[in-house]
Amino acid sequence: MDLRLLKDKAWESMGTRHSHPDREPGYAYYHGQRVAKIALQLRELILSGQDSNDEAILLGGWFHDVGKGIEPHWEYGAMICRAILREHCPACKL
């Protein structure tokens, strides 16, 4: 997977969008970056050295709120993720 390209896709989807009236534009994007970083740190603490799923963990963090602001955001987020990632990820990872 081309993680740089997928990070750009996350920015295109969330980087300037208002996901909530009380949040600044791009909040969902930056929040996703923080979540991904913390998720990888937790994986290392819990499953040290077992990094075979790190790309999926990273993408999960980046895109977990892609549907935020469109309720139910978890359902719309899943549809948006499939549309964005289907060309870049194996079907088994979606």
CA–CA separation, 15 vs 72, rounded Å? 20
Domain of 33, in residue numbers? 3-93
**Any idea which residue has 């990273």 for tokens?**
58
Distances 6 to 48, 61, 84 between C-alpha atoms, Å: 25, 12, 9
Instruction: Cite the beta strand spans of 1-94 per DSSP E.
Output: none
pLDDT tens digits, one per residue of 21-65: 889 999 999 999 999 999 999 999 999 999 999 999 999 999 999
Provide the whole-model pTM.
0.89
State the pLDDT at residue 51. Answer: 96
Number of domains in the chain: 1
